[in-house]
């Protein structure tokens, strides 16, 4: 069995480094995304204090009474803003909903860009005065980090370094706070009920601030599940389906899941906060000509990011 390549990379060496350091970062990022589809990132500019405030607020939000949380649930938004209660999202191809509830924060357009008209307003969580400010700060910092990572990917793909910039400026990205709730009666849940069923992410790349507990696993090329260990201050980054489509599978959208804890920890919660970096809805996801040849025939039909997102939201049950 070959060990998948999941390096820990220093983002500061790319943002502030020499041309040689930037090239090394880009090559290692591309190699990992071509192999396992995952990396971990350090030196990303998020302070420990801000991360701790984020998790304090996320935990407090989910600790609110269910009737309070449901004030912020808007089914017509397909889980793209505010609260989404348990039992609403099912991994593609699965029969049983994931054991989780979540809260989503979207793009705040402040520069007059007409794309603002495409996005619903974020829900303002009145019960927690710091919540929107803290999650908004995290959103902008992860969006900035994601832009740097996509520039490194563009270099690896031999594209202009700013290839993705116009597509992700005011993009349709989502910050999602997730609560994998305690399993109080594990003996009565369905055998196939898990915290997050095996799936691939929809977007370009995902940036996940280290979760509050273990459980994330990635499916290797040898078809074995490998636990991903990351420090609470690290960011785990993986490829999503949109980048896989764009690169005709050169960069892998890796299957991953969140497994249930050992029985002695079943009654404990797990929290995580992924940032799903999406482009604007009009981005063309047609596979790059440079990724198509006789050995690598074109695998995907042409569609925009908006069309693909709509298709996937229906597949996972968030949109009817």
* Domain residue extents for the chain: 44-147+172-315
* Residue range 136-159, pLDDT digits in tens: 999 999 999 999 999 999 999 999
CB atoms within 10 A of CB 291: 16
The confidence score (pLDDT) of residue 122 equals 96
Average pLDDT for 171-178: 95
Provide mean pLDDT across the span 6-33: 93
Tens digit of pLDDT for each residue in 68-89?
999 999 888 887 899 999 877 6
pLDDT at position 130 is: 97
pLDDT tens digits for range 249-303:
999 888 888 776 666 666 778 888 999 999 999 999 999 999 999 999 999 999 9
Minimum mean pLDDT range among 48-52, 124-128, 314-318 = 314-318
Q: What is the DSSP string of the chain?
A: -PPP---EEEHHHHHSS-HHHHHHHHHHHHHHHHHTSEEEEE--S--HHHHHHHHHHHHHHHHS-HHHHGGGB-GGGTTSSEEE-TT----TT-SS--S-EEEEE-----S--GGGGGSPPPP--TT-TTHHHHHHHHHHHHHHHHHHHHHHHHHHTTS-TTTTHHHHTT---EEEEEEE---S-GGGS-TT--SEEEE--SSSEEEEE--SSS-EEEE-TTS-EEEPP--TT-EEEEE-HHHHHHTTTSS----EEEPPPPGGGTTS-EEEEEEEE---TT-B-PPPGGG-SSSS---S---BHHHHHHHHHHHTTS--
Nearest to 41 by CA among 215, 227, 214, 207: 207
CATH top-level class of 44-147+172-315: mainly beta
Closest CA to 307 of 287, 288, 279: 279
Residue 165: pLDDT band (50, 70, 90) is: very high
Distance CA 292, CA 310 (A): 26
Distance of alpha carbon 46 from alpha carbon 234, whole angstroms:
9
d(CA 288, CA 305): 14
Least confident span in 138-147, 157-166, 206-215 = 206-215
Instruction: Give the whole-number percent of the chain exceeding pLDDT 70.
Output: 87
Which pair of structure tokens corresponds to residue 291?
Answer: 């990724």
Specify the pTM.
0.90
Q: Average pLDDT for residues 28-41, to the nearest whole number?
A: 88
- Is the dihedral angle over the CA atoms 294, 296, 298, 299 positive or is it negative? positive
pLDDT, averaged across the chain: 88
Cα(159)–Cα(206) distance, integer angstroms: 21
Residue 264: the pLDDT is 64
Lowest average pLDDT, out of 8-22, 41-55, 172-186, 203-217, goes to 203-217
Position 191 pLDDT exceeds 60: no
- Asked if the model's pLDDT at residue 1 lies above 50, the reply is no
Question: What is the average per-residue pLDDT within 292-320?
Answer: 89
pLDDT tens by residue, 81-112 = 999 998 776 666 666 666 789 999 999 999 99
């Amino acid at each position: 069995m070959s060990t998948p390549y999941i390096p820990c990379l220093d983002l500061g060496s790319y943002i502030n480094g020499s041309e040689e350091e930037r090239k090394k970062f880009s090559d290692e990022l591309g190699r990992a995304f071509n192999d396992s589809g995952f990396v971990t990132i350090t030196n990303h500019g998020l302070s420990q204090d801000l991360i701790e405030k984020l998790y304090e607020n996320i935990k407090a939000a989910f600790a609110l009474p269910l009737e309070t949380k449901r004030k912020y649930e808007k089914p017509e938004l397909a889980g793209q803003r505010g609260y989404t209660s348990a039992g609403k999202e099912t991994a593609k191809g699965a029969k049983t909903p994931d054991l989780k509830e979540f809260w989503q924060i979207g793009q705040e357009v402040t520069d007059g860009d007409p794309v603002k008209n495409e996005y619903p307003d974020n829900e303002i969580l009145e019960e927690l005065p710091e919540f929107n400010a803290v999650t908004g700060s995290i959103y902008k910092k992860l969006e900035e980090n994601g832009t740097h990572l996509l520039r490194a990917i563009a270099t690896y793909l031999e594209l202009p370094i700013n290839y993705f910039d116009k597509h992700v400026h005011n993009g349709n990205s989502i910050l999602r706070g997730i609560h994998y709730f305690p399993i109080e009666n594990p003996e009565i849940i369905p055998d196939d009920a898990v915290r997050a069923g095996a799936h691939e992410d929809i977007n370009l790349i995902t940036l996940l601030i280290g979760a509050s507990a273990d459980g994330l696993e990635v499916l290797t090329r040898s078809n074995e599940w490998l636990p991903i260990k990351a420090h609470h201050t690290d960011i785990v980054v993986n490829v999503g389906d949109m980048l896989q489509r764009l690169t005709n599978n050169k960069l892998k959208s890796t299957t991953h899941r969140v497994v249930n804890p050992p029985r002695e920890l079943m009654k404990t919660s797990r929290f995580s906060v992924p940032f799903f970096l999406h482009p604007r809805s009009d981005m063309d996801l047609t596979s790059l000509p440079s990724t198509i040849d006789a050995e690598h025939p074109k695998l995907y039909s042409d569609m925009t990011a908006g069309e693909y997102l709509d298709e996937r939201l229906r597949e996972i049950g968030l949109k009817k």
